[in-house]
Chains A and B, each alone.
Chain A
């Protein structure tokens, strides 16, 4: 999604024709869990902050393998979020439980390829070029 998302935002989401949802896939144990919890906790402060953190986490992907709570709290303060609140949220068991639950649910649905996309029920597995993605969206929009 990382490669095509900027174009999707500009060409489909900005105009209001498409909305984007993010589903947690935790394939890399504790590192995945911490990254997802960071996004989740940013979102609890403000839904738009989820997406700002989402972008930052992808940008700083290399740091995530060895990240600690302090690392991601620093990310939050860089975005102008409340670092203390984020830290408390990271320690809240409910944050991790939600991510684990969603990860198990996608496995139960047979979604094993990362990334995968569900476009109004049509499953796309694996990264695809923007033009191909746009074609899928245009066809789906034409049916609406």
Chain B
């Protein structure tokens, strides 16, 4: 009876440990920094290369969508101050006085 109880206790402790407890080897391999320990494996050369390719592909699109509100963009056109897209097909010249 005592022997069966001891065996049962050993199993109860050992089985969860198979999943969660680090082996001595894994403990030795673990990096010292806790931050590095949770670094995802995605930071390998292959994903980085893919990311670089993707960035190159997206760059022109990002340029096109970089300005989402041209009413916040201003510049000069000759003597005049301009509000909006300098390449807009239409230009309104407002002849006005502030008074």
Chain A residues with a Cβ under 8 A of chain B: 1, 5, 8-10, 12-28, 31-32, 35-36, 39, 43, 46-48, 50-51, 54, 57-58, 61, 64-65, 98, 102, 106, 111, 114-120, 137, 140-141, 144
Q: How many residues of B contact A (CB 8 A)?
A: 31
> Other than the known A18-B91, A19-B86, A111-B95, what 4 A-B pairs have Cβ atoms closer than 8 Å?
A22-B81, A115-B95, A120-B91, A144-B89
CB distance from A110 to the nearest CB of B (A): 11
Chain B minimum-CB-distance residue to A52 = B74
Knowing A39-B98, A114-B97 touch, does A15 contact B70 (C-beta < 8 A)?
yes
> Top 4 A-B pairs ranked by shortest CB distance?
A19-B84, A16-B85, A47-B74, A35-B98
A-B contacts, 5 of them at CB < 8 A, read A1-B94, A5-B94, A18-B85, A48-B73, A98-B79
Asked whether, in the complex, the Cβ of B99 is within 8 Å of the Cβ of A65, the reply is yes
Knowing A16-B85, A64-B98 touch, does A21 contact B70 (C-beta < 8 A)?
no
Which of A23, A27, A141 neighbours the largest number of chain B CB atoms within 10 Å of its CB? A23
Contacts of B97 in A (CB 8 A): 24-28, 32, 35-36, 114
Chain B minimum-CB-distance residue to A133 = B92
B9 on interface, CB distance cutoff 8 Å: no
Asked whether, in the complex, the Cβ of A144 is within 8 Å of the Cβ of B90, the reply is yes
Contacts of B98 in A (CB 8 A): 32, 35-36, 39, 54, 57-58, 61, 64
CB distance from B15 to the nearest CB of A (A): 64
> How far is it, in angstroms, between the C-alpha of A137 and the C-alpha of B88 when the chains are bound?
12
C-beta contact mask, B57-99 vs A, less than 8 Å → 1, else 0? 0000000000101111111110111111111111111111111
Which of A18, A19, A140 neighbours the largest number of chain B CB atoms within 10 Å of its CB? A19
CB distance from A73 to the nearest CB of B (A): 16
CB distance from B21 to the nearest CB of A (A): 60
> How far is it, in angstroms, between the C-alpha of A1 and the C-alpha of B75 when the chains are bound?
20
